[in-house]
Amino acid sequence: MDSLCVHPGFEKFCDRPTFSLAHPARIVFVPKNTVHKLMQAHLTRRQLEIVEYLRTSHRQTGIMPTTREIQHSFGFASQTAAMSHLRALERKGVIQRLAGKARAVIFPEHLDRGEIVDIPIYGHIAAGMSQDAEPERQGCISVDIASLGIPRHARTFALKVRGDSMINAHICHGDTVILEFREPRKGDIVAALIDGETTLKRYLITKGKPFLRAENAAYPDLIPARELVIQGVLIALLRHAA
């Protein structure tokens, strides 16, 4: 069956977490409209390296690195050196720093986006047979909640999809699903704990009895023998770029 990694907040819903999350590959991404700005800013080689590090770290984890993390990454003797580089980048208009925040760096082009919320990623939903492993948080993803239709006050978390049991619902390997802590309705796709194992399936009810169904004919319906606890209801899907 599909299986998912649950975070510590799930402890009140289920007996044990089950799946860990592999660390993603390091990806460097610089938007085209930013390249010209960097060239015009006359950045030093070190400053270009720091900008690349900021973008890569944010893309991988959904959050900006702290000055201490920048210090350690570049081998600076102190955080003061990291702060000095950030101030120089701010003067050149490449970044903006937000007062009173530990991760107080933002790229100007991000200021034009809608309301951005950081949603924690807590592991994988393995769209296949279950496996046991320890849970591991993998940072956050930053999303524009208005564009995804996510309610502002929704209690959400994200999980990575692995496998093919939900392919007929257009949920594919490598996608990211965003789920909300709430009561399910018939037909919702849910993250659930069923008889001690976690899974992503469609929630159905027949003759007053709930069960779970895959969106792939190769997988059987799951009828709980002892327990069925809904941990989250899918409210958004982020497609993995091949």
Catalogue the active-site residues.
165, 201
User: Rounded CA gap, 118 and 170, in Å?
Assistant: 24
- List phi, psi (to 5°) of 124: -110, 145
User: Rounded CA gap, 58 and 55, in Å?
Assistant: 5
- List phi, psi (to 5°) of 11: -60, -30
- List phi, psi (to 5°) of 232: -175, 155
